[in-house]
């Protein structure tokens, strides 16, 4: 598969009293055409900031301080503002976590979708409306004609999220960034939205950057998984390899703490402690303060990237040591 989006050494910082504080630190990953890449991590690990950095929508006073984001070879971080506006929505679209607040409460939803359509494509209102109707039907909104004139408060959360997806798909983007698309929805609706996303990805070949902290969703939808911790990547792997054989101690901890994997009656394993805030990140491996396998170099030296022949990447001193031991024996 050809690489569509290439994020290289992306670093996003917020100013603080002690100088610029990186919330996204030296992140690199690729997204292939039609692929679903899940970006996984705890709250505050920098997943959403990575997505916003790609679209250059980092809220002030934060800014992308270095790195590059290549969309089909073109660096988005160096595009003029007006060109960037044409990329947003038309080539990379984003759906947000909260469908309740992501729609303008005083504008009919049909008009909002039509706005998205007419923004990038100069067609008249009648055509835009029929296109919006078709989109509504495609994302599974019942009675699309009547729903076009509904206001957000007339719709349920699931329907609103479908409207958001319709809006995001209106320009047939190559990449869809879904920032926790199902977090605010209840479980049955979650399943429907996931099925919808998967079908859309298959039918349209849209690449999806899925941001989530729910490993169930990862299992359901993702082709590859990138695990983030405290602003850095710790492991990038194919879904199956990662879920069955996690290498990084953080990934292992995450997988162990899934309730269904623990026999009933036993205490659920957890990762001790909380994610440190950016001003308390250790100089070495970010996970060293909570890592059960932490040894001498971890606290002071950042682990280097280790890549195996299958393209699996991991950043961990312990993995490096055991691999060295294997190869020398």
When the beta carbons of 36 and 167 are compared against another protein, the nearer one is: 167
230 binds another protein, rule: CB under 8 A: no
Three-class SS of residue 174?
coil
Q: Which of 158, 202, 203 is nearest to 181 (CA)?
A: 158
When the beta carbons of 106 and 310 are compared against another protein, the nearer one is: 106
As a whole number of angstroms, the distance between CA 10 and CA 231 comes to 10
151 binds another protein, rule: CB under 8 A: yes
Q: Among 88, 224, 313, 317, which residue sits at the site for another protein (rule: CB under 8 A)?
A: 88
Three-state secondary structure string covering 18-45? CCCEEEEEEEEEEEECCCEEEEECCCCC
Q: For the segment 189-228, give every residue that binds another protein (CB under 8 A).
A: none
74 binds another protein, rule: CB under 8 A: no
Lookup result for tokens 């040894």: 295
DSSP 266-290: SPPP---S-PPPGGG--SS-GGGGT
| Segment lying near another protein (by CB under 8 A), choices 146-154, 197-205, 229-237, 244-252 | 146-154
Beta strands per DSSP E along 79-129:
92-95
103 binds another protein, rule: CB under 8 A: yes
Q: Are 241 and 310 in contact (CB under 8 A)?
A: yes
Q: Among 164, 166, 175, 227, which residue sits at the site for another protein (rule: CB under 8 A)?
A: 164
Q: Are 173 and 139 in contact (CB under 8 A)?
A: no
Q: Among 79, 108, 137, 243, which residue sits at the site for another protein (rule: CB under 8 A)?
A: 108
| Segment lying near another protein (by CB under 8 A), choices 89-97, 246-254, 279-287, 318-326 | 89-97
Name the residues that contact another protein, by CB under 8 A.
Answer: 55, 57, 85-90, 93-94, 96-98, 100-108, 115-116, 119-120, 149, 151, 153, 164, 167-168
């Amino acid at each position: 598969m050809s690489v569509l989006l290439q994020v290289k050494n992306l670093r996003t910082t917020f100013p603080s009293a002690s100088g610029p504080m990186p919330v996204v630190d030296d992140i690199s990953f690729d997204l292939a055409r039609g692929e679903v890449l899940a970006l996984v991590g705890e709250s505050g690990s920098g997943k959403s900031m990575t997505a916003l950095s790609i679209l250059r929508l980092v809220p002030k006073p934060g800014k992308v301080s270095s790195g590059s984001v290549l969309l089909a070879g073109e660096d988005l971080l160096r595009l003029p503002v007006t060109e960037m506006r044409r990329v947003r929505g038309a080539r990379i679209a984003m759906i947000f976590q909260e469908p309740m607040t992501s729609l303008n409460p005083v504008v009919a939803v049909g008009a909002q979708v039509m706005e998205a359509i007419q923004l990038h494509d100069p067609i008249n209102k009648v055509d835009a409306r029929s296109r919006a109707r078709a989109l509504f039907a495609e994302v599974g909104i019942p009675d699309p004609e009547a729903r076009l004139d509904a206001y957000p408060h007339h719709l349920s959360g699931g329907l609103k999220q479908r409207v958001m997806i319709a809006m995001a798909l209106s320009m047939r983007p190559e990449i869809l960034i879904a920032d926790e698309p199902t977090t605010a929805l209840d479980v049955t609706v979650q399943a429907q939205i996931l099925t919808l996303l998967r079908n859309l990805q298959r039918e349209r070949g849209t690449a999806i950057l899925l941001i989530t902290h729910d490993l169930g969703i990862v299992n359901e939808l993702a082709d590859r998984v990138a695990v983030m911790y405290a602003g850095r990547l710790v492991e990038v792997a194919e879904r199956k390899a990662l879920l069955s054989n996690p290498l990084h101690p953080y990934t292992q901890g995450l997988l162990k703490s899934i309730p269904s994997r623990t026999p009933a009656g036993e205490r659920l394993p957890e990762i001790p402690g909380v994610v440190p805030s950016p001003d308390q990140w250790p100089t070495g491996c970010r996970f060293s303060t909570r890592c059960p396998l932490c040894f001498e170099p971890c606290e002071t030296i950042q682990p280097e990237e280790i890549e195996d022949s299958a393209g699996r990447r991991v950043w961990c001193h312990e993995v490096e040591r055991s691999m060295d031991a294997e190869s020398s024996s």
